[in-house]
């Protein structure tokens, strides 16, 4: 991270109807970008906003009907975002969240919007966190803009990278290097990261690292299956890695097991532990520092105390 990226940002989130599940307005202090977020129930309120009847881009996102546990998104642009997002929403039934991006001063041109649309599609495709419902990927080189305008739109995109995860959409966030750099040995691409492990009495072994807020179970790890435990909170987490061929049947003595053939990212250590142990699990105590008895929770507390001391 460069020095210019280390300063804090103020993100303002306004609940238009006072309800956390209703229409929300999101802005970054000092930036003209203006985002509105709604679910299906508040979609009419979103498209009725005067600020949405402007040139800009929009995103429709929701569960991927073709991939259990996956997400799907459609990215578009228009001279009237309100009109275009209504048309797109009618054609798609997967979406649960609608996001519009315009500006408070109505300063985006059609060329600006088309450039942003193409770049959003490009960055989302590179990140690989969602399946894009867009039929084609626009070529940013065909969205000819003056050099200064390109620089301005890249800064606009940088702000979108910051604000979209805050409102629950991480489709632009790059995958951790532990996941993407699989041509390199595990030791190289996880250099500097603390490794955690689960060693279960069944014989199942799993190794993981934490990177940029994500908990990554590494290839070669094992996971129990068919234990018969009733999973409530994390039951669906296993479906996607199995469907994607990440967790495959593993012929090994003892309990019925799956084997992780490539790294898989989780949002929490508990989610990762639940998949490994095939039951609801407290990952903060199940995962331990590799080769030690220190739990993830204790390690995290030690790190926090060390930072306070500094």
pLDDT digit string, tens, across residues 14-38: 999 998 889 999 999 999 999 999 9
**CA–CA dist 154, 160 (Å, integer):** 10
Relative to beta strand 56-63, strand 97-103 is: antiparallel
For residue range 68-104, what is the model confidence (pLDDT) as tens digits?
Answer: 778 999 999 999 999 999 999 999 999 999 999 999 9
Same domain, 219 and 298: yes
Q: Which residue has the higher pLDDT, 6 or 86?
A: 86
Same domain, 192 and 137: no
**What percent of the chain is modeled with pLDDT above 90?**
68
Same domain, 79 and 134: yes
Please check the confidence at residue 2 and state whether its pLDDT lies above 50. no
pLDDT at position 140: 59
Same domain, 241 and 115: no
- What is the model's pTM? 0.80
**CA–CA dist 45, 172 (Å, integer):** 26
Same domain, 142 and 59: yes
Same domain, 13 and 147: yes
Q: Which residues contact 141 (CB under 8 A, 6 or more apart)?
A: none
Same domain, 184 and 264: yes
101-110, 132-141, 237-246, 285-294: range with lowest mean pLDDT: 132-141
Same domain, 152 and 82: yes
**172, part of any domain:** no
49-63, 71-85, 131-145, 160-174: range with lowest mean pLDDT: 131-145
**171, part of any domain:** no
Q: Which residue has the higher pLDDT, 236 or 221?
A: 221
Q: Name 119's bridge partners.
A: none
Final residue in a domain of this structure, among 166, 193, 222 = 166
Same domain, 141 and 265: no
Instruction: State the DSSP string of 99-132.
Output: EEEEETT----HHHHHHHHHHHHHHHHHHTSSEE
**Mean predicted lDDT score pLDDT of the chain:** 89
Final residue in a domain of this structure, among 119, 147, 166 = 166
Residues 182 and 176 sit within 8 Å (Cβ to Cβ): no
Residues 13 and 2 sit within 8 Å (Cβ to Cβ): no
Q: Which residue has the higher pLDDT, 221 or 141?
A: 221
58-67, 114-123, 253-262, 295-304: range with lowest mean pLDDT: 253-262
**CA–CA dist 26, 11 (Å, integer):** 7
- Domain of 143 in residue numbering reads as 3-166
**270, part of any domain:** yes
User: If you average pLDDT over each of 74-88, 213-227, 231-245, which comes out highest?
Assistant: 74-88
Per the structure, the count of domains in the chain is 2
57-61, 154-158, 226-230, 260-264: range with lowest mean pLDDT: 226-230
pLDDT at position 1: 40
Average pLDDT over residues 178-198: 84
Final residue in a domain of this structure, among 166, 185, 206 = 166
Please check the confidence at residue 230 and state whether its pLDDT lies above 70. no
pLDDT at position 29: 94
**37, part of any domain:** yes
pLDDT at position 66: 87
User: Which H or E run includes 13?
Assistant: strand 11-15
**CA–CA dist 86, 83 (Å, integer):** 5
Please check the confidence at residue 231 and state whether its pLDDT lies above 70. no
For residue range 246-283, what is the model confidence (pLDDT) as tens digits?
Answer: 999 987 666 689 999 999 999 899 999 999 999 989 99
Same domain, 161 and 256: no
Please check the confidence at residue 3 and state whether its pLDDT lies above 60. no
């Amino acid at each position: 991270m460069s020095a210019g990226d280390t300063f804090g940002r103020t993100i303002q989130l306004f609940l238009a109807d006072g309800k956390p599940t209703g229409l929300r307005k999101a802005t970054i202090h000092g930036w003209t970008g203006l985002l509105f977020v709604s679910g299906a129930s508040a979609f009419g309120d979103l498209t009725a906003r005067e600020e949405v009847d402007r040139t800009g881009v929009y995103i429709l996102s929701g569960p991927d009907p073709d991939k259990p546990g996956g997400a799907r998104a459609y990215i578009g642009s228009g001279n009237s975002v309100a009109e275009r997002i209504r048309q797109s929403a009618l054609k798609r039934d997967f979406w649960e969240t609608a996001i519009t991006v315009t500006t408070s001063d109505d300063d985006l041109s059609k060329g600006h919007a088309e450039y942003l649309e193409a770049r959003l599609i490009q960055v989302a495709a590179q990140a690989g966190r969602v399946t894009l419902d867009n039929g084609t990927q626009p070529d940013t080189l065909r969205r000819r803009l003056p050099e200064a305008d390109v620089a301005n739109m890249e800064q606009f995109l940088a702000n979108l990278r910051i604000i979209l995860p805050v409102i629950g959409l991480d489709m632009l966030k790059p995958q951790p290097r532990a996941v993407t750099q699989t041509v390199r040995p595990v030791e190289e691409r996880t250099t500097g990261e603390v490794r955690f492990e689960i060693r279960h009495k069944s014989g199942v072994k799993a190794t993981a690292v934490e990177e940029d807020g994500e908990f990554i179970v590494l290839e070669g790890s094992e996971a129990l299956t068919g234990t018969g435990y009733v999973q409530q909170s994390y039951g669906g987490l296993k479906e996607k890695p199995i469907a994607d061929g990440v967790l495959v049947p593993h012929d090994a003595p003892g309990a019925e097991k799956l084997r992780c053939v490539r790294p898989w990212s989780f949002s929490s250590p508990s989610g990762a532990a639940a998949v490994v142990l095939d039951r609801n699990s407290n990952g903060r105590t199940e995962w331990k520092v590799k080769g030690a008895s220190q739990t993830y929770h204790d390690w995290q507390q030690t790190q926090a105390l060390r930072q306070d001391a500094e």
